[in-house]
Structure 1
């Protein structure tokens, strides 16, 4: 698995971690925002009216209502990205990462408007009578690029696991284990059975379930978050100040946090923002294709609401909980993940300014660091290292009070450990100690810093369970629509079986490995879609113009 993770990290460095990707994503949103005259602002009020069914007609083709299409799409976006993803972005890039999540959402509102409109315009009715849509249909039917449509559909299937399945299951299992102590594989197995029962019912059952889960889970989460925010009200203004001040300077080292550069915060913030709201990824158009309407543009307007609700509202609330509580810069006792663990040569101390600067450059990939990976041996007696010449880094922080154990019984280790290129060779070795934490665990700890105290962690666990489970449901639909396009309706059932199996497996897999896979999967799906909508920019503009002509004519009469 470590070798596979190293391969994924290499891919991510060329894709999601590439310095150009955030500029491509934000640049596309900026282009359409200007080209279409800021539709995310001008059409915002109209979008709410469409969602409420004010302009619906009974004879409109489709499988579900505007509201249910919106909640299905929202269930696909409101997931671990809102709980784990925000925490992961702040953990990597500091407070400034939240700003770049906002920027991704603002411009993403326009990007989503465009991709949903074009995909809805070229949707198809399948053999079983249901609607199927998504970027692969406009790529095929309008651009005449069958090869691009096939590539996108394959990427959608991959991303259904990398975005909507594996991270969701892993996030749920991590949070439930942290709060209730249940083994991850048990959690994954039980939820896997429930997932199978829901997705076998197709879009009608999926839409019915998500339309109930989404509003309910949002209320629960909001109550818990506000309890933390009001309990730490004095830290809210400083939190906002840090978001904007760090934007131009990078985040300085504070507590166990060793700092983040401007470039690192930008890259990780945009990447996590995309994971959260999926604007430009091409996933939401698949859900919106089922909406009952003759007007693709009106459905596109409905989708404008998604990044606003998902990122500008929910992610901001999560971010303020984490920043105001201060837990993002605190070390906590945890079991070290091998993929987040690194042994470097030399003895480094947090209270030494030169050491911190050296480590800051190393972690943020800035020239001038003399830090090197450790190669050698470590002597351990009764679980404690007794030799020197090395420093243990876990979760981008200097580890403290490290205890070495082996096996499932966690016996204290005594012996010599060999380290090659900063990693341990011994497979069954387990390290426990104090370090920074990230993802669902960070948010869970933050929720205990409010009026509900330790009970706050249950709100995160329940919220994450509902958020992530609904995301897995929605993404199973995206994947089966892609499979329908590629191989026909007969391929749906085998896909669903594999999808459920993947959900169970991810519950007990390495968290960082899962997130790295998610980062890669997002990009391979996003780039073809951005290319496609840019190719149809003129058609998009004329479609919007024609819509308003028809709308004004019908409403005057």
Structure 2
């Protein structure tokens, strides 16, 4: 599993981890923001009126209301990216990574506006009578690029597993196990049955579930988050200063956190920002295509609200919770993950600033340090060799190696810094990330240890709703590729993968998600750039028609 993760990380390094992807994503957002004259600011108020149904007409064609489409799309984005993804970004890039998440969201508001408008404009009716839409339909019907549409649809199916399915249940099962002690596979089995019950009803049942689930889970999560932020009120201003103060300097080493460069914080912040709000990925247009509307731009207006709610509001609250509580830079007792474990050939003293700087440079890929090859000598669970073990990008402390339930004594083979045998249970202190870190943060507030239950319940609702929505994205893609009859088989595989991922390796799941995001996003960004003129003309026509029909409204 560790070798597989290394291969996947190498692939991700060229795709989502590459600077080209970050600049493509932001570049498209900047282009449309300027080209359409900052629609995310000018149309924000109008978007709230549209989602309330103020301009709806009798006989508008579609399967869902504006609000249901928004709730479905939000349920697809408000998930582990908001709870675990923010923690992962800060763990990698420090507080400055959150700033770049917010920048990505601001530009993403325009990108969502464009992709949803175009997808809604060129939607179709499927052979079973349901509405089928998404970027693959504008690629086919307007660009006459069936090959590009096929690539996007195939990537959507893959991404439904890598983004909406596997990371979601993995975080749920891990959090429930940490909080309640329930085995991951049991959580996966129970939720798998519930997932199948919901998704067999199609978009109408999905919309009915999500329109009730999204507001409820948001209220619960906000209560827990503000209980931490207000409890640590003296850290609010320093936290905000850290977010914006480290933008052009990189995040300095603090506690167990060994620092991050400007480039690393920028790259990871943008990457996690996309994972959170999915702007440009082309997923939300599939949900919005089902909305009732007599023209496409109004649904694009609704989509402007998604990155605003998902990232600018919810992710900021999560970030302030992590930073104000101080848990992001502290080491915590945990069971070590082999994919995050690395043995260095030399001894480095954490108390030595030069050594900390060397390790920090090694972790961000600036200057690689030699890895250990040979046998570790272990006595009563403790490593006897004078070397350095890194776990979760930090110096491992108080490490105890167990075998068959007792502290191990003997030798352990290591190749290129990795354990050859992964059957040992290793416990110790290190940094942690993802949902586990957010769970710890929620215990540092007015609710104390009870706060972890809020995260577990919130994560369960957030992530489960994301899995529901992504099943719909995948089945629309399958409808495009192989017709409506293929959807049943897709749903069966989707639920099976959902169960399997509940006890799969966390790091591998996250890496797979990163790769799937890129494979889906690039064709969509290329497509909307090719249709920039179409988008501009469609928007102009919308306002001409709107002013005729609603002369007293804005």
Match of 1:406 in 2: 403
Match of 1:437 in 2: 432
Aligned CA RMSD, in angstroms, stands at 0.9
1:317-466 superposed matches below 5 A:
317-367=317-367, 371-388=369-386, 390-407=387-404, 410-466=405-461
- Distance of 1:434 and 1:523 partners within structure 2: 34
Per-residue CA shift, 1:481-529, capped at 9, x if unaligned? 0000000001101100110011111111111111111111101100110
Per-residue deviation at 1:429?
1.5
Residue 489 (structure 1) aligned with residue 487 (structure 2): no
- Distance of 1:444 and 1:427 partners within structure 2: 27
- Distance of 1:64 and 1:426 partners within structure 2: 52
> What secondary structure does 2:228 align onto?
helix
Per-residue deviation at 1:427?
2.8
**Is residue 228–residue 325 contact of structure 2 (8 Å, CA) maintained in 1?**
yes
Query: Structure 1 length normalisation: TM-score?
Result: 0.98
- Runs of 4+ aligned structure 1 residues displaced above 6 Å come to none
- Distance of 1:426 and 1:40 partners within structure 2: 52
> What secondary structure does 1:286 align onto?
helix
- Distance of 1:542 and 1:235 partners within structure 2: 48
**Is residue 75–residue 214 contact of structure 2 (8 Å, CA) maintained in 1?**
yes
- Distance of 1:178 and 1:213 partners within structure 2: 24
Per-residue deviation at 1:349?
1.6
- Distance of 2:241 and 2:20 partners within structure 1: 28
Per-residue deviation at 1:406?
2.3
Match of 2:73 in 1: 73
Query: Structure 2 length normalisation: TM-score?
Result: 0.99
Residue 113 (structure 1) aligned with residue 109 (structure 2): no
Per-residue deviation at 1:245?
1.4
1:156-167 superposed matches below 5 A:
156-167=156-167
- Distance of 2:154 and 2:481 partners within structure 1: 8
Per-residue deviation at 1:411?
2.7
- Distance of 2:81 and 2:18 partners within structure 1: 20
Per-residue deviation at 1:426?
1.1
Residue 41 (structure 1) aligned with residue 38 (structure 2): no
Per-residue deviation at 1:279?
0.2
Per-residue deviation at 1:414?
1.5
- Distance of 2:385 and 2:358 partners within structure 1: 23
- Distance of 2:517 and 2:131 partners within structure 1: 24
Selected match of 1:533 from 510, 528, 537: 528
Per-residue deviation at 1:3?
2.6
Match of 2:87 in 1: 87
- Distance of 1:305 and 1:387 partners within structure 2: 55
Residue 513 (structure 1) aligned with residue 511 (structure 2): no
- Distance of 1:315 and 1:167 partners within structure 2: 17
- Structure 1 residue runs without a partner (length 5+): none
Per-residue CA shift, 1:261-314, capped at 9, x if unaligned? 110000000000000000000000000000000110000010000000000000
> What secondary structure does 1:343 align onto?
strand
- Structure 2 residue runs without a partner (length 5+): none
Per-residue deviation at 1:240?
0.7
- Distance of 2:128 and 2:19 partners within structure 1: 44
> What secondary structure does 2:294 align onto?
coil
> What secondary structure does 1:387 align onto?
coil
- Distance of 2:403 and 2:77 partners within structure 1: 39
- Distance of 2:385 and 2:366 partners within structure 1: 30
Match of 2:284 in 1: 284
- Distance of 2:207 and 2:397 partners within structure 1: 48
Per-residue CA shift, 1:33-70, capped at 9, x if unaligned? 00000000111011111100111112011001000000
- Distance of 1:440 and 1:427 partners within structure 2: 24
